[in-house]
Amino acid sequence: MRPDDANIAGNVHGGTILKMIEEAGAIISTRHCNSQAGEPCVAALARVERTDFLSPMCIGEVANVSAEITYTSRHSVEVQVNVMSENILTGAKKVTNKATLWYVPLSLKNVNKVVEVPPIQYARKEQEDEGKKRYEEQKLDRLETKQRNGDVILPVINPDRQTKEPHTVSYSQSSLIHLVGPSDCTLLGFVHGGVTMKLMDEVAGIVAARHCKTNIVTASVDAINFHEKIKKGCVITVSGRMTFTSNKSMEIEVFVDADPFVDEPRERYRAVSAFFTYVSLSKEGKPLPVPQLLTETEDEKRRFEEGKGRYLQTKAKRQAQMQQAAQQ
């Protein structure tokens, strides 16, 4: 990890790690989908399950990313990716991330055609049954998320923050506009999922830093749903806003909207959506209290309560896992 991979405190950006995770997932999925005779294809990212950043990675450490296919349906691939950091001076290693990604194989001849996925062999019948259950759950959640995507974040360009109250949603709300070029894209001319996630993390990080004015790091990312492909030549607007704060964490909602820019009559559309969670750290790397979010409108209050529900649900799930681990 080099200095340009990290923030000013030396912690590697969450978006950089997400990009590495997606690259590993795309490689193993594409290899598998082309492992048998058939129509050549490229695996496209459809969804990333909730991803926790278990331990920070720092400048000078070596990242080791490993990927394994854990389930296949007729038209999708589930990939488990693990990230480990290594201090090459001491040899110390630690797990920093575990992520589950879903890919669909798109034909090289027709980008709108999803080809069939070669099946994998399972060591036990239970593994296939568990994988099928995860597949059905993510499929339902993707559908529900897409139905909620009528919400809009208006882009913020050069706002006068001196006229806004600190710790409000409007004060920290941020946007980034990016023209999709060839280096951002796959062989099919669509944006790499990792490129999109890196931009999303950058915007979420700006929102968190503006709210706290301290060193901040990505703690987790809720499920990232890729609703539609983003084509080369599109102008994408990545927008983020604070939705919820607990004592020591912040939830930021991030949308990616795409505007076809070259030879496309289509109007703007919602391409990706997710919730990022950040924590504030002291110079010693210890968690700091987070300024509480000041909600001003009914919509902001509603989003705050929804974020609180997600926070309590995640907290309860984590406590249950810890109790289960203690009993084993």
Q: Report the alpha-carbon distance of residue 218 to residue 245 in Å, rounded.
A: 14
Q: Is 7 among the catalytic positions?
A: yes
Of the residues 5, 201, 222, 257, only one is catalytic, namely 201
Q: Mean per-residue pLDDT for 164-191?
A: 92
- Per-residue pLDDT tens for 262-272? 666 778 899 99
Average pLDDT over the chain reads: 91
* 186 φ, ψ (degrees, to nearest 5): -85, -175
The pLDDT score that the predictor gives to residue 319 is 86
* pLDDT tens track for 294-327: 999 999 999 999 999 999 999 998 888 788 777 7
Looking at residue 151, what is its pLDDT?
64
Of the residues 7, 64, 82, 149, which is catalytic? 7
Give the pLDDT confidence of 248-267 residue by residue, as tens digits: 999 999 999 999 876 667 78
Render pLDDT for 103-151 as a digit per residue (tens, 0 to 9). Answer: 999 999 998 899 999 999 999 999 999 999 999 999 888 877 765 665 6
How confident is the model over 72-91, as a mean pLDDT? 96
Please give the pLDDT value at position 85: 97
Residue 129 bears catalytic tag? no
pLDDT class for 198, splitting at 50, 70, 90?
very high
Residue 29: pLDDT above 90? yes
